[in-house]
Chains A and B, each alone.
Chain A
Amino acid sequence: MPLLEIKNLQLDFGRGAKALRAVDGVSLRLEASETLCLVGESGSGKSVTALSVARLVPSPPAHYVGGEILVEGRDVLKMSKPELREIRGGVVSYVFQEPGASLNPVFRVGHQIKESLKLHRPTAATDTEVIRLLKLVGIPAPESRIKSYPHEMSGGMQQRVMIAMALASQPKLLIADEPTTALDVTIQAQIIELLRELKQRLGMAILLITHNLGIVGDLADRVAVMYAGQIVETDAARELLQRPLHPYTRALMHSVPSLTAHVERLTAIPGNVPRLGAFPGGCRFHPRCPIARSECANAIPELVEVEPQRWVRCPLWQT
């Protein structure tokens, strides 16, 4: 049984005629101690998908229209409030983009981590355990740091504290939603290195959300690429980066400049990322796609296993 299995998830914002489908038939599988990267541009539905795993999307406005989210075989969409509390911060922990916004400014960081311990592992709610967690996430001089307030720490250090808090419950799945996007590159490299170490040391599964394909190569075992509420390609990370198959993945990789190779001119993707409510009919990428044909406008292509373990939502992937 996989640790997490999302099957054909459909989520709307609003109801009736005003309903907008933000997540449209997303399926994902994550085995224990595996790292899956969910990649896509802003608005593609990554955060909403990830937050759904612990039912953290406010509803209303959100409505689950269809599908299942199985965490260790149990459907989160059918759980009672007490069952959900057990999942949240228990089996599944989150780390978000803005550590400053997630930490409470009026409490010392040691206190906040201890609160998290009290909730999930009451017997371990001690200073010793807090210090051990801070050490685990690479905070120097943790004995004195437990008394710091969040504003006395840099963004990178705050993110380490957030990770320590997420680890307090010894989760089986860590969901990190753009954990390095707000950080400088050298600090981003530190946090990615930390996640890589933690993954090896603790053997937990990670669902990492990012818009940066470069980070995929650093951490992921597998990748799922999202566009306009749908998964368009999912592969082993290495295969995807070496030979992307969906025209969107290919175009995205070609449109970013490289640090080593030289091109005179970037291959830009025309047009804009479609907004929710304005998704084009047929294949959602077809108006921007370099190989689109007229039939691409007719029906949404299926996500098909075109090679073992390689799923692509494009019948023209070989062209």
Chain B
Amino acid sequence: MNLLKVQNLKVHFPVKRGPFSREREFVRAVDGVSFFVATGETVGLVGESGCGKTTLGRAVIKLIEPTDGRIFFNGENLAALDAETLRARRQKFQMIFQDPYGSLDSRMTVANIIGEALDIHRLAPAPAARRERIENLLNDVGLDPSHAQRYPHEFSGGQRQRIGIARALAVEPKLIVCDEPVSALDVSVQAQIINLLQDLQRARGLAYLFVAHDLAVVRHISQRILVMYLGRIVESGDAKEICRSPKHPYTQALISAVPVVDPDSKRQRIILAGDVPSPIHPPGGCPFHPRCPVAEARCKTEVPALREVAPGRHTACHLATVEK
């Protein structure tokens, strides 16, 4: 059974049309997204800024209320749970953030940041057991337990991200939504955090929904990838396969735009014209059609459904051919 199953999830934010207008419009930040994450699996979520990745991640772990759709965790519909049960279930999914500094309370010591998570779920009421758990957690994420009484500003960016990870792990989650966890880090430190996340996954059977805009990082860490554009998934499938042979024109452009170090790479570059359109007035038909190099007449009017074009590969493009 899948650990997480999301069906037709929508998150629409009301926005005012102008400063004097009473009329309300909606940002369709997430607009009908379905996917699953298996136990112990990493699913990568890529797309450009504003496409809805953070909103989707937050909605999945119930930090924001979805407008529509259903979220199942271990087969249980989260919307059907009473407040008390939901609180207990929430312990099983956690989030780590891009900016570890902004997400850590600067007035609290590391011990208290991690201890607070334990306290909320009453996981270690006795002081000695609490202290031991905090020390173990610091060890597990590669921090020196003797630094437990220090404050976040005394640590480097990479170490702060480790604190954020320790806090998430404190409550023994099954799923962690990682929202751009390495994007703000120095290149030489990114690999440390990626390796740590992979080690923890193996040791603890964790599942990750790993959000990032760096496709190479996402490919490395994920078994499967979801590609998002304007609030929708336009392609999904095996991580290596998607990068080797993308089917959706947007995925193709995204992959060809990644700067590569290899000077002999003979890649065909696809330079997309124009900017990402607004999710307030997404284009009709296929939302990608105004930037699509191969769009046809029907792309302007018919919304393409996400359909299976090869085993395990789904693409929302009228022109994608089905492999037999």
Bound Cα distance from A162 to B244, whole angstroms: 36
Contact partners of A217 in chain B: CB under 8 A: 259-263, 265
**Residue interface mask B275-307, A partner, CB < 8 A = 1:** 110000000000000000000000000000000
Would A185 and B216 count as touching, CB distance under 8 A?
A: no
Q: Which of B215, B257, B263 contacts A241 (CB 8 A)?
A: B263
Contact partners of B243 in chain A: CB under 8 A: 259-260
Would A259 and B260 count as touching, CB distance under 8 A?
A: yes
Q: Which of A188, A214, A269, A270 contacts B261 (CB 8 A)?
A: A214
Q: Report if B271 contacts A (CB, 8 A).
A: yes
Q: Report if A255 contacts B (CB, 8 A).
A: yes
Contact partners of A292 in chain B: CB under 8 A: none
Contact partners of A257 in chain B: CB under 8 A: 194, 216-217, 219-220
Interface residues on A, range: 35 or more
Would B263 and A156 count as touching, CB distance under 8 A?
A: no
In the complex, chain B residues 152-168 whose Cβ is within 8 Å of any chain A Cβ: 156-159
Would A185 and B213 count as touching, CB distance under 8 A?
A: yes
Bound Cα distance from A211 to B187, whole angstroms: 8
Q: Report if B2 contacts A (CB, 8 A).
A: no
Bound Cα distance from A257 to B191, whole angstroms: 8
Q: Report if B148 contacts A (CB, 8 A).
A: no
Q: Report if A215 contacts B (CB, 8 A).
A: yes
Would A237 and B186 count as touching, CB distance under 8 A?
A: no
Most buried by A among B192, B215, B261, B263: B261
| B interface residues, how many (CB within 8 angstroms) | 43
Would A241 and B188 count as touching, CB distance under 8 A?
A: no
**Residue interface mask B189-219, A partner, CB < 8 A = 1:** 1111011001000000000000001011101
Would A186 and B272 count as touching, CB distance under 8 A?
A: yes
Q: Which of B188, B198, B217, B272 contacts A273 (CB 8 A)?
A: B188
Chain A proximity of B279: nearest CB distance (Å): 14
What 10 pairs across the A-B complex have the smallest Cβ distances? A214-B259, A257-B220, A268-B191, A189-B257, A184-B48, A266-B191, A255-B191, A269-B188, A154-B275, A272-B156
In the complex, chain B residues 214-257 whose Cβ is within 8 Å of any chain A Cβ: 215-217, 219-220, 240, 243-244, 253-257
Chain A proximity of B278: nearest CB distance (Å): 10
Chain A proximity of B324: nearest CB distance (Å): 26
Contact partners of A125 in chain B: CB under 8 A: none
Contact partners of B129 in chain A: CB under 8 A: none
Contact partners of A288 in chain B: CB under 8 A: 188
Tell me the nearest residue of chain A to B196, going by C-beta.
A268
Bound Cα distance from A190 to B49, whole angstroms: 16
Q: Which of B49, B188, B254, B276 contacts A255 (CB 8 A)?
A: B188
Contact partners of A188 in chain B: CB under 8 A: 257, 259
Task: List B residues at the A interface (Cβ < 8 Å).
Answer: 48-49, 156-159, 186-192, 194-195, 198, 213, 215-217, 219-220, 240, 243-244, 253-265, 269, 271-272, 275-276
Q: With A184-B213, A266-B191 in contact, do A189 and B261 touch (Cβ < 8 Å)?
A: no
Tell me the nearest residue of chain A to B253, going by C-beta.
A186
In the complex, chain A residues 248-307 whose Cβ is within 8 Å of any chain B Cβ: 251-253, 255-260, 262-263, 265-270, 272-273, 288
Would A189 and B269 count as touching, CB distance under 8 A?
A: yes
Bound Cα distance from A272 to B255, whole angstroms: 30
Bound Cα distance from A190 to B276, whole angstroms: 13
Return 16 A-B CB contacts under 8 Å, by A number.
Answer: A41-B186, A186-B48, A186-B276, A189-B269, A190-B271, A217-B262, A251-B188, A257-B194, A257-B216, A257-B219, A259-B219, A259-B258, A260-B244, A268-B194, A272-B156, A272-B186
Q: Which of B258, B260, B272 contacts A190 (CB 8 A)?
A: B272
In the complex, chain A residues 140-182 whose Cβ is within 8 Å of any chain B Cβ: 154, 156-157
Would A256 and B261 count as touching, CB distance under 8 A?
A: yes
Would A266 and B276 count as touching, CB distance under 8 A?
A: no
Most buried by B among A186, A211, A265: A186
